[in-house]
Structure 1
Amino acid sequence: MSGRTRVLWLAKGLGRGGAEQLLVNCARHADTERYEIEVAYVLPWKDALAPSLTKAGVRVHCLGGVPGTPGRADPRWPLRLRRLLAARRYGLVHTHMPLPAAAARLLAFGLGAGGTPRLVHTEHNVWDRYRPVTRWANALTYRRNDAVIAVSHAVERTIPPARRRPGAWVHVVHHGPDLGGAPQGPAARAAARAELGLPQDAFVVGTVGNLTPKKDQATLLAAHAALRRHHPGARLVLIGAGPLDARLRARAAELGLTDGVLFAGSRPDVPALLPALDVFTLSSRQEGLPVALMEAMTSGLPSVVTRVGGMPEVLDDGGQGFLVAPGDPGALADALGRLAADPGLRTRLGAAARQRSGRFDVAGAQQAVEAVYEQVLQR
């Protein structure tokens, strides 16, 4: 199609993470009459979502080596990025992870259709969690962005004033899940529990996230141990993989939870597994705005999550679930215990969560992103 702007979405990896899933969700709703979307990523072993992007009609480029290859990324990936920018002549580069973003800001000058491509960056995390080298790279290059999109107001507030440009430069866009056709109802619940090997009558708490310090599943395990003192049949499902897998399994054994915790690993079928849960939870110490929470609310689950990042922006304490302080297993256990003891409360909060989830419109979010594109391309 003539007249389309070619756009590159640049990410660190395409593994099963929330920010990466947003790329897939948005690709399915992109205006292909106006934009030709391509994706590039750095870490070749984090490629689980690459087939989904290809299926959505998006051309995918691996900069760090052969897709699926374990180990370190090829350190020549910045050179490959520069060659890609020169060859494909993008009108706009939309970055999604801080270090690749800093590289793009430095490498994009003098390239693209008619000159340097416009630069848009999505901020998925609060600045406090960035390592010193990341903060330094951002400090040097951040004002070269033509616009910034923050996934929540909490994230937007952490961008230092010194790194901002004047005017309407930062745009807050609440993204959402893409769960069209996801199973619901008693049959879906029974099937999901059978798939996970869970008793049909157990009280089940579940979480979705990489097994990393940021997600703090250690606090969740401690809370689950406390919950089981009053509800001994309660089960906990951890969906996700990561560097803390072995340590968390060992901690679960120390707490006597071997038969009470299911480590389900990384799963491509999370929407189909959510009906197995009675309650969704996140024990995170840091968040931007987790897709997993919005998926759970869309599925009609009450949630108990920590009061961090953008989570209080989409869940009211006592309205669609409960907010608790991070790093407090007692508070988390108490909130989970309230829901375990009161099926009626779970039903009411779950219904309210599903109603609130009407705000999470992935198509509308992509339209808002494309409005930012239009704004910067017209300058």
Structure 2
Amino acid sequence: MRVLWLIKGLGPGGAEQLLVSAAEVARDERFAYSVAYVRADKQHLVAKLAASGVPATCLATGVGGARLWPLRLRRRLRDVDIVHAHSPLLAGVVRLLARTLPTGARPKVVTTEHNVWRSFSTPTRWLNRLTSGLDDHRFAVSDEVRRSMTPRASRHSEVLVHGINHESFERTGESRDAVRTALSLRPDTVAALTVANFRTEKDYPNLLRAAATACAADPHLTVLAVGQGPLEHEVRELHAALGLGDQFVLLGFRDDVPDLMRAVDLFVLGSAHEGLPVAVMEALAAGLPVVATDVGGVAEAVVDGQNGFLVPSRDPKALAAAMLRVAGDPGLRAVLSRGARAGSSRFDIRTALTRQQDVYAVLAAS
């Protein structure tokens, strides 16, 4: 069966990383996978997909590519049995394009909702409201994501918790001491890490203000931020205005997140909207206590007092207090770390991929 994974871009985002993890474990000979994307400037993960035998093609390159990619996608749909969209905008587009093909040449359409619908732009939200009924199967990455849909779309959606490739994530890399030395972290520094691109839903203003409070109260605390994106200028301006200096380090894009997680002491996320963040699953697998806002499916992974703490969104004082609580208590960090590792095994990409393949097989047979 020819399966096309469709995504907006292949930059270093959560949904994009899920495709890489799935490609790494996709060893079922019944399926031939490929990827198509439309953001020519987002190619960070193309090589990783290729290394796993999954070719990726940008539909928007060449003359007129930015305008003609829907026509190129329509032609591509004739050559696949299943198209699985991982972007709300592209999901709406591919649903409509598929219906323009003759029945015998029309692929089955599967979609995955990775974020709550209220986080979509108004046009994208309405596109999904009007077209979601055209799906042959729809997944949601968390209960909260499914509840955010219209009642009709919610009833016809299956919650499928995704995960990470634990084997790939846990491969031996740089030692904790080596990474901390490279990052200029002192032995007495308590380091927190966030992995989030500079986008509205990640709410960096909330995190930066929380960090300003926490770092002022604890001079041994340092926050490291991995991310890039359209709001970088605004993030850097606020960082400077708050006087965070070297206690909040903007690392930009990094492809060594597992190494960074081995070098830090806790993970923090200040988002306003989420689905079920891949970075949180990775942090738990690394045994990191997680301090995060209670949004989307985060509460389905983080349990207060067991593997971390949840706080209300858009409340930097609460986020700072939770960061200080974990940073200032090594014994608590040890307890939360054990809890994180103990529960991380349920976030396994193999489980999610197996269920997807079952759906693909049933749809193709029908």
SS in 2 for 1:264: strand
Task: Between 130-139 and 232-241, report the one with greater CA deviation.
Answer: 130-139
Matches within 5 A, 1:57-96: 57-65=53-61, 74-86=66-78, 89-96=79-86
**Residue among 47, 55, 58 paired with 2:51:** 55
1:359 equivalent in structure 2? 346
User: Hey, what does 1:37 align to over in structure 2?
Assistant: 33
What is the one-letter code of the residue matched to 1:137? L
252-261 vs 344-353, which moves further: 252-261
| Post-superposition CA distance 1:324-355 (Å, at most 9, x none) | 00111110111111112110100110111011
| Alignment-derived partner of residue 142 in structure 2 | 152
3-state DSSP of counterpart to 1:275: helix
1:375 CA displacement = 2.9
Post-superposition Cα deviations, 1:204-223, rounded to whole Å, max 9, x if no partner, equal: 11100101121111111111
1:260-279 alignment runs, 5 A limit: 260-279=247-266
Aligned in 2, Cα 1:180/1:163: closer, same or farther, shift over 3 Å? closer
Q: 263-272 or 291-300, which moves further after superposition?
A: 263-272
1:133-162 CA-to-partner distances (Å, cap 9, x unmatched) read: 112221222111001011111111112123
2:88 equivalent in structure 1: 98
State how far apart, in whole Å, the 2-side matches of 1:284 and 1:292 are.
12
CA contact (8 A) 1:90 1:113 kept: no
SS of residue in 1 equivalent to 2:175: helix
Aligned to 2:357: 370
Cα pair 1:143 1:164 within 8 Å, conserved = no
CA distance in 2, matches of 1:73, 1:220: 38
Cα distance in structure 1, aligned partners of 2:102 and 2:235: 47
| CA apart distance, 1:250 | 2.0
For 1:206, what is the secondary structure of its paired residue? Answer: strand
TM-score by length of 1: 0.92
CA offsets per residue over residues 69-89 of structure 1, 9 Å max, x none? Answer: 9xx961111011112223xx2
User: How far apart, in 1, do the equivalents of 2:236 and 2:314 lie?
Assistant: 19
Query: How far 1:100 sits from its partner (Å)?
Result: 1.4
Given candidates 174, 180, 186, the residue that maps to 2:167 is 180
The residue aligned with 1:232 is 219
How many Å separate the matches in 1 of 2:73 and 2:312? 41
Distance 2:19 2:118 in 1: 24
Distance 1:182 1:96, change over 3 A: closer
Closer, same or farther in 2 for the Cα pair 1:213/1:147, shift >3 Å? same
Tell me how far 1:315 sits from its aligned partner: 1.1
Q: Does 1:9 align with 2:5?
A: yes
Structure 2 contact 161–347 (Cα < 8 Å) conserved: yes
- Once residues 113 and 316 of structure 1 are traced to their aligned partners in structure 2, the CA distance between those partners, rounded to angstroms, is 47
Structure with higher helix content: 2
Aligned counterparts of 1:236 and 1:290: Cα–Cα separation in 2? 19
Matches within 5 A, 1:94-243: 94-109=84-99, 111=101, 114-163=104-153, 169-180=156-167, 182=169, 188-243=175-230
Q: AA paired with 1:20?
A: E
Q: 1:187 to 1:32 in 2, by over 3 A?
A: closer
One-letter code aligned to 1:312: A
Look up the equivalent residue of 1:264 and give its one-letter code. L
One-letter amino acid of the counterpart of residue 19, structure 2: L
Q: In structure 2, do the counterparts of structure 1 residues 164 and 245 end up closer, same or farther at CA, with 3 Å as the change threshold?
A: closer
Aligned length: 366
Q: Aligned equivalents of 2:362 and 2:36: distance in 1?
A: 23
Partner of 1:349: 336
Retained in 1: the 8 A contact 2:3–2:32?
yes
Is the Cα–Cα contact under 8 Å of residues 174 and 259 in structure 2 kept in the other structure?
Answer: no
Residue 111 of structure 2 aligns to a residue in which SS? strand
SS of 1:315's equivalent in the other structure is: coil
Q: CA RMSD in A?
A: 2.1
* Deviation (angstroms), 1:242: 1.3
CA–CA distance in 2 between the matches of 1:229 and 1:186?
33
Per the alignment, residue 284 of structure 2 pairs with: 297
1:137/1:73 CA distance change after superposition, 3 Å: farther
Instruction: Specify every segment of 5 or more residues in structure 2 that has no aligned partner in the other structure, as ranges.
Output: none
**Does the CA contact (< 8 Å) of 1:288 and 1:309 recur in 2?**
yes
Contact 1:206/1:238 (8 A) holds in 2: yes
Match of 1:244 in 2: 231
- Closer, same or farther in 2 for the Cα pair 1:226/1:373, shift >3 Å? same
Would the alpha carbon gap of residues 338 and 185 (structure 1) be closer, same or farther in structure 2, given more than 3 Å must change?
A: farther
CA distance in 1 between counterparts of 2:8 and 2:348 reads 25
- Between the aligned partners of 2:98 and 2:238, the Cα distance in structure 1 is 47
- Deviation of 1:197 after TM superposition, in Å, equals 2.6
Deviation at 1:55, TM superposition (A): 0.9
* Gap regions ≥5 residues in structure 1: none
Task: Identify the match of residue 28 of structure 1 among 24, 43, 47.
Answer: 24
Letter in 1 for 2:277: P
Superposed CA deviations along residues 96-141 of structure 1, whole A, max 9, x for unmatched, are: 1011111111112365994311110000011111111112221222
